[in-house]
Amino acid sequence: MHSRRHIKEALKYFEKLTDREHAIFEAGISLGAIFHQLVGMPVKLEKIRELESALSNAFSSQPFRVRTEIRINAERIRRGLTEPYDYGVINPESLDVEVVVEYGYARVKARLKWIDELGYPLMYVEEVTIRGI
């Protein structure tokens, strides 16, 4: 794990946050951006794997992201399709996202996925690890 942080000029805006808090903050930003940018995006079912890969790579480009994995459940999109239309749209139920962020000495794995029992696309922290200084 690296101990990457903001550049010196930006650190003053984050001085009240610990590395752990900042990593969680960054993960939340990432999940929110992914959700709000992808819901409603048109998708051809036969191109879902290509789209998942491209989107995962794009969102991994954000600062402090170690890995972003976006999975789209084709079956949850297929339910709403009618002939003769051959594309659907990404909906909250179809997203399953994992984001890993490292900031300073903290590593956070956060998730976004539909939880049937809640009827809601929940964003939550799955794991936090702190590396000794």
- What the chain holds in terms of domains, given with CATH numbers, is 8-130 (3.30.1300.20)
Per-residue pLDDT of the chain (133 residues; tens, 9 = 90+): 457 898 889 999 999 999 999 999 999 999 999 999 999 999 988 899 999 999 999 999 999 999 999 999 999 888 767 667 677 899 999 999 999 999 999 999 999 999 999 999 999 999 999 987 6
CA–CA separation, 33 vs 28, rounded Å? 8
Neighbour count for residue 61 (Cβ, 10 Å): 8
Q: Which strands form 95-103's sheet, in the order they lie side by side?
A: 65-72, 95-103, 106-115, 120-130
pTM of the entire predicted model: 0.89
